[in-house]
């Protein structure tokens, strides 16, 4: 039986989120302590736990077929693997940061400066794009300490909350790009493995759709039903069911997470009552 091999980060937040996603897709893994390979018991999938920076090349070389990685990693490695799906978690940004005391007005500050980074290729492309000549110091880890020990005038690093910058006396001054976890694949997958990948993508899309939506049930007078339905288009249109009390109906629909509170307020304003919000475990579009 052919298995699809997926590479995930062997430790850290991205690893945890990746394994949680696979679990939510109904995939059970036989995982032991310090295990570097795990076989799914109910899906044609084999998980390889690898160092994050090595994953793109492993996929490009065909050791792994697909991977869950930050797109910032692939942009840096430039291995040519194919993005398949944005996953929406492990969001961060690659940014320029300088000491808090520095008066940074624009990118011209970087001209002739020393910049420390773990992303030398990305930084080089950025500097070239903006016609800036600067000295790049490649550092593996703990980039934030570079200005404090006199190694650099600025840094280029991944920023999530920004708390690490603050702790090291730095401030974020320019965002190069935003990043998130993606599902990526070898561009030369054989047909059988493409079919398995399609099944996995189908499951992932159902999980991601459910995370961004809530199921809503409410009661409303029939006389304002048109106004209520206008606020709740749902996936196609709301489900309407009559209540025992004459002149009232029950409305069932779906609302987007980012519109939730605004919609609830408008529903209350037009006369909706007994509003219930229920999490959606999976949503097949």
Do 82 and 16 fall into the same domain?
yes
Residues 71 and 200 occupy one common structural domain: yes
Per-residue pLDDT reduced to its tens digit, 98-149 = 999 999 999 999 999 999 999 999 999 999 999 999 999 999 888 999 999 9
> Whole-angstrom Cα distance, residue 19 to residue 73?
19
Strand partners, 5: 46
For residue 223, the 8-state DSSP code is G
Average pLDDT over residues 231-255: 87
Residue 247 in tokens = 């002149």
Q: Can you give the CATH number for the domain in which 265 is found?
A: 3.30.70.120
Do 166 and 195 fall into the same domain?
Answer: no
pTM over 0.85: no
Highest mean pLDDT among 103-112, 207-216, 253-262, 269-278: 103-112
Question: Does the pLDDT of residue 284 top 90, yes or no?
Answer: no
- Answer yes or no: is 235 within a domain: yes
Structural domain ending residue among the three candidates 131, 155, 178: 178
Residues 79 and 9 in one domain: yes
Instruction: Identify which of 225, 232, 235 has the alpha carbon closest to the alpha carbon of residue 270.
Output: 225
- Residue where a domain stops, chosen among 161, 178, 195: 178
Is 119 found in the same domain as 70? no
Residue 115 lies in a domain: yes
Q: Give a yes or no: residue 285 inside a domain.
A: no
Number of structural domains the chain divides into = 3
Whether residue 252 contacts residue 182, with contact meaning beta carbons closer than 8 Å, is answered with no
User: What is the tens place of the pLDDT at every residue in 36-54?
Assistant: 899 999 999 999 999 998 9
CA 55 to CA 12: how far, in whole Å? Answer: 14
**For residue 35, what are its two tokens?**
């295990």
User: At CA 86, angle to CA 84 and CA 88, rounded to 5?
Assistant: 160
The answer to whether 136 and 121 are in contact (CB under 8 A) is no
Same domain, 150 and 25: no
Per-residue confidence band for 241, with pLDDT thresholds at 50, 70 and 90: very high
Kindly state whether residue 129 falls inside one of the protein's structural domains: yes
In the three-class reduction of DSSP (H, G, I as helix; E, B as strand; rest coil), residue 137 is classed as strand
Residue 284 lies in a domain: no
Per the structure, the complete domain to which residue 45 belongs is given by: 4-90+180-210
> For 29-53, b where at least 16 C-beta lie within 10 A, e where not — what string?
beeeeeeeebebeebbbbbbbbebe
**Smallest Cα–Cα separation from 280: which of 222, 225, 224, 235?**
235
Check whether residue 59 and residue 79 sit in a common domain.
yes
The domain boundary, picked from 165, 192, 210, lies at 210
pLDDT tens digits, 193-215: 999 999 999 999 999 988 888 89
Structure-block tokens of residue 159: 């920023």
Helix (H) or strand (E) holding 60: helix 55-60
Alpha helix (H) residue ranges in the chain:
13-24, 55-60, 71-77, 120-129, 163-167, 191-211, 225-231, 260-270
- Would 258 be classed as within a structural domain? yes
CATH number at residue 34: 3.40.190.10
Residues 154 and 171 in one domain: yes
Residue 232 has what pLDDT? 85
pLDDT for res 33: 58
Residue indicated by tokens 């996603």: 21
- Other beta carbons within 10 angstroms of residue 119's beta carbon come to 22
pLDDT higher than threshold 90 for residue 13: no
Please name every residue paired with 249 in a beta bridge, in sequence order, or none if there are none: 220, 242
User: Does residue 132 share a domain with residue 57?
Assistant: no
Please tell me whether residue 255 adopts helix, strand or coil conformation: strand
Tokens matching residue 106: 């624009």
Please check whether residue 266 lies inside any domain of the structure. yes
Is the same domain home to 112 and 163?
A: yes
Give the per-residue pLDDT at 234: 63
Tell me if 81 is assigned to some domain. yes
Can you tell me whether residue 162 is helix, strand or coil? coil
Within this chain, do residues 164 and 273 fall inside the same structural domain, yes or no? no
Same domain? For 122 and 166 the reply is yes
């Amino acid at each position: 039986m052919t298995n699809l091999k997926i590479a995930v980060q062997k430790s850290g937040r991205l690893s945890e989120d990746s394994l949680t996603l696979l679990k939510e897709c109904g995939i059970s893994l036989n995982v032991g302590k310090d295990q570097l390979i795990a076989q799914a018991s109910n899906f044609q999938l084999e998980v390889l736990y690898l160092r994050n920076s090595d994953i793109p090349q492993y996929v490009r070389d065909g050791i792994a077929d697909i991977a869950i990685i930050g797109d910032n990693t692939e942009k840096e490695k430039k291995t040519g693997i194919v993005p398949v799906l944005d996953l929406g978690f492990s969001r961060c940004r690659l940014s320029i940061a300088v000491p808090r005391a520095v008066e940074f007005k624009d990118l011209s500050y970087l001209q002739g400066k020393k910049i420390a980074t773990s992303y030398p290729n990305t930084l080089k492309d950025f500097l070239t794009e903006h016609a800036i000549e600067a000295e790049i110091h490649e550092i593996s880890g703990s980039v934030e300490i570079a200005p404090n020990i006199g190694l650099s005038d600025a840094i280029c690093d991944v920023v999530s909350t920004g708390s690490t910058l603050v702790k090291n006396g730095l401030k974020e001054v320019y965002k190069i790009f935003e990043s998130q976890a993606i599902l990526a694949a070898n561009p030369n997958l054989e047909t059988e493995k493409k079919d398995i990948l399609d099944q996995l993508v189908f499951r992932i899309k159902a999980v991601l759709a459910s995370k961004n939506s809530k199921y809503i049930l409410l009661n409303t007078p029939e006389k304002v039903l048109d106004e209520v339905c206008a606020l709740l288009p749902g996936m196609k249109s709301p489900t309407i069911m009559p209540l025992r009390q004459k002149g009232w109906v029950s409305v069932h629909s779906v609302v987007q997470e980012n519109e939730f509170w605004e919609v609830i307020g408008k529903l209350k304003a037009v006369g909706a009552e007994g509003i219930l919000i229920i999490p959606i475990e999976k949503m097949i579009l």
